[in-house]
Structure 1
């Protein structure tokens, strides 16, 4: 019985929301972000920075974007990984107090996970 349950338990632990969602769902969820952010390689910055390649990069380093003083001060200590992006998408001001990003956050964990999956691998 334990031999049967152990793989199921491992599967349940491994299936985090970010892994369970796909980039296609994230593309749809990203529409609420697209008013301020582009994601295509080489696209210009908008009100917010271009997010192409954001996963794995230091905060506040998108080329050509003018960041707030708060992001400049804290950005070097932040790397945009899935966990940090999840916190940011939940409530940006909790990650960088004083950020100029006027966005209340995405309360739905599944939707945040989908957006993160899309940021990792944008679909055309």
Structure 2
């Protein structure tokens, strides 16, 4: 029974993750306005309170060299990357993934908002150019 529940949970997670990867970048640009006070994307973007998010999808945790990450993020993220699944979990409630992290954002409760903002961010290469 436990094995069946685990398989069902994994299948449900896979369906959710797939939905996150298929968001609407135009709608995500509007959602990103909630993030723009602390983060920047695009050509010429600079670190603010939070790091630049260019190339965030599949980037290793703590990879922006000129940004001072929290010790907690660096410990939790050792060897991890910001893939779609991890971004989705983080954007629900950042403190659940990195309890002592610096990010003071309540999160995005709506699945569509998270999927859309991830799709928006996925457009940006590491140098800020759009794909």
Question: Does the alignment reach a TM-score above 0.5?
Answer: yes
1:93 shift after superposition: 1.0
Following the alignment from structure 1 to structure 2, what is the Cα–Cα distance between the partners of residues 16 and 32?
24
Q: Quick one: distance in 2 between partners of 1:90 and 1:15? A: 13
Q: 1:100 matched to which residue of 2?
A: 102
Aligned CA distance change for structure 1 residues 83 and 98 (closer, same or farther; 3 Å): same
Shift of 1:19: 4.2
Q: Helix, strand or coil for the counterpart of 1:107?
A: coil
Question: Is the aligned partner of 1:31 residue 2:29?
Answer: no
- In the alignment of these two chains, the number of paired residues is 112
Paired residue for 1:86, among 66, 84, 88?
88
| 2:70 corresponds to 1:68 | yes
1:57 counterpart = 2:43:
no
**C-alpha separation between the residues in 2 aligned to 1:14 and 1:115?**
15
CA radius of gyration, larger in:
1
Deviations 1:70-100 (A, max 9, x none): 0121222321111000000001111112111
Q: TM-score, normalised by structure 2?
A: 0.77
Q: Secondary structure at the match of 2:72?
A: helix
Q: Distance in 2 between matches of 1:15 and 1:63?
A: 29
Equivalence for 1:109: 111
Match of 2:4 in 1: none
Change (3 A) 1:14 1:113: closer
